[in-house]
A and B are shown apart, each in its own frame.
Chain A
Amino acid sequence: EPEVTQTPSHQVTQMGQEVILRCVPISNHLYFYWYRQILGQKVEFLVSFYNNEISEKSEIFDDQFSVERPDGSNFTLKIRSTKLEDSAMYFCASSGDATYEQYFGPGTRLTVT
């Protein structure tokens, strides 16, 4: 069964450093998403991406964040200068249809020290 993969599973970084979280969506999917979840809290929408551009973004997704689909398979989230409050689980998701089932990857746990 096809699945979304994410690397690394855990990333530890110092405040102010840049991090890139990587995702490989399901190969025939066209819609891509990033979410984050602070431990014990709800899943928060960050950004959606379709046709090589951002479709929607939330208030959380400020200038420190960017997304890219550098090739036909990867989808990345970059945080330019990490803050302590960026510590969370980051989930990538993809779907074949914007209105329907989203398949989530296993997540990357980001710890900012």
Chain B
Amino acid sequence: GQSLEQPSEVTAVEGAIVQINCTYQTSGFYGLSWYQQHDGGAPTFLSYNGLDGLEETGRFSSFLSRSDSYGYLLLQELQMKDSASYFCAVSNTGGFKTIFGAGTRLFVKA
């Protein structure tokens, strides 16, 4: 089976940096993705890691360690609009099945 663990909730202040961790257990791991979802909205893709290391996209970065079955999403220069739920998701071999974690609710305070 597949399972993912991520914190349920994180609070940070505007301008700060926050890291959301994700650990996973899966067979046939292929890659780790991150999605953002605002209340009432659809998930939107943020980042994907197929190989170990850091991927950077603007204010967002994502890291993967396959040997540790661990990844994180790093959000820098937090803005109020970053308040949302963030999901890590693992894809199996071939990438045809993507399993989402339970999500981390990020609250950004002024």
Contacts and interface: CB of A to CB of B under 8 A. Distances in A.
Interface string B3-14: 000000000000
B31 A105 contact: no
Contact of A42 (B31, B94, B103): B103
B48 A101 contact: yes
Interface string B91-110: 11011111111110000000
For B35, B42, B48, the residue with the greatest tally of chain A CB atoms inside 10 Å of its CB is B42
Interface residues of B, number: 26
State the majority secondary structure of interface residues on B: strand
Nearest to A6: B42
Nearest to B92: A56
A91 interface: yes
A25 to B, nearest CB: 14
Contacts of A106: 41-42
Given A99-B30, A101-B45, A104-B42, A44 B100 contact: yes
B43 A56 contact: no
Contact of A45 (B94, B98, B103): B98
Interface of B: 30-31, 33, 35, 37, 41-45, 48, 50, 87, 89, 91-92, 94-103
Given A42-B103, A98-B96, A99-B50, 4 more contacts: A31-B96, A101-B45, A102-B98, A106-B41
